[in-house]
Amino acid sequence: MNMACKTLVLVCGLLPAIPAGTVVAGEPRSGYEFIRPATREMQDDDFLNPGMFTVEKGQQLFREKPEGAGKSCAECHGDDGEGLDTGNIARYPVYKGGGLVTLQRQISICRTSATGKSLVADHPDLVALETFVRNRARGVPVNVQTDGPMQALLAKGEQLYRTRYGLIDISCFHCHGLYPGQMIRGQKISEGQGNGFPAYRLDIGEITSLEQRIQQCLTLMRAEPFDSGSEEINLLGLYIMSRSNGLKIETPAVRY
């Protein structure tokens, strides 16, 4: 058994059952507070932040003129995305058209309408576009709707967040609700907030959407991850982003 697995099993053995309605008090804390000073320095400097390469790629795609009919994203929103509503970006995921719409999904809808080219959930080009668009709203507080029709969706997302998964038999809440600040695999456990995503992960050396990070966590739990674009992954993403309300968008954050 490798060290990472031993650590997970040890933590699992210490985890208590979660009483119904358990809530961890306190203001949300960004993952930025839990990373090492050198990693903070990397995130803070656009010349050092490796996630900025994906921002630049997303900008290229944003400006890309499709062959034949259609127009680029930039023709509607400006070459640098200056026409984008950053306050609106901070509201995603949103309730629209009778259902949940993620920022990635909204970008896909707009892109398909303008260019006639569709991309599946978490396609590298779509993640790059999402990274560029979220980066335009960097510094704006996350502001996900939590009332009205969102209440039922958030309840489903929270249920998934508190469900035990896989051979490790732990939930998202166990790590990120009960044990922030404690160590696992040589790193501090964060609150698992979504304000920095898409984020550059040093562990794998690439930009990762929030939904992809959830899939990676489920794999660590020795569980079968939910599919990209599935209802479950979107509901989990919604609940996690709602926990980040009030935190400033950091995209692209740098995380382990």
Per-residue pLDDT tens for 235-256? 999 999 999 999 999 999 999 9
Contact by Cβ (8 Å): 239, 161:
yes
Q: What is the mean pLDDT of residues 196-206?
A: 97
Q: What is the mean pLDDT of residues 41-58?
A: 98
Q: What is the mean pLDDT of residues 138-166?
A: 98
Q: How is the chain split into domains, by residue range? A: 29-45+145-255, 52-136
Rounded to 10 degrees, the C-alpha dihedral 206/212/217/220 comes to -70
Query: Residue 86: pLDDT above 90?
Result: yes
pLDDT in tens, 71-81: 899 999 999 99
pLDDT at 251: 98
Q: What is the mean pLDDT of residues 120-137?
A: 97
Contact by Cβ (8 Å): 209, 217:
no
Q: Do domains 29-45+145-255 and 52-136 have the same CATH topology?
A: yes
145 pLDDT band (50/70/90 cuts)? very high
Using alpha carbons, select from 143, 135, 140, 139 the residue that is nearest to residue 81. Answer: 135
pLDDT at 118: 85
Q: What is the mean pLDDT of residues 169-176?
A: 96
CATH 2.40.50.140 for domain 52-136, yes or no, is no
Question: Considering the domain 29-45+145-255 in this protein, what is its CATH number?
Answer: 1.10.760.10
Contact by Cβ (8 Å): 100, 234:
yes
pLDDT at 24: 53
Q: What are phi and psi of 185, to 5 degrees?
A: 55, 40
Alpha-carbon distance 180 to 191, whole Å? 5
**Percent above pLDDT 70 for the chain:** 90
Q: Pick 12 or 226 by higher pLDDT.
A: 226
Using alpha carbons, select from 191, 178, 180, 182 the residue that is nearest to residue 241. Answer: 191
pLDDT in tens, 153-169: 999 999 999 999 999 99
35 pLDDT band (50/70/90 cuts)? very high
- Only one residue has tokens 């709203």, namely 137
Least trusted range by pLDDT, from 10-24, 116-130, 221-235: 10-24
* CB within 8 Å of 222: residues ≥ 6 apart: 166, 167, 168
pLDDT at 114: 84
CA distances from 19 to 57, 61, 102, 124, 201 (A): 45, 47, 31, 40, 33
Six-digit token pair at 126?
């779509």
11 pLDDT band (50/70/90 cuts)? very low
What average pLDDT does the structure give for the chain? 90
Q: What is the mean pLDDT of residues 206-223?
A: 97
Q: Please identify every residue annotated as catalytic.
A: 217
141 pLDDT band (50/70/90 cuts)? very high
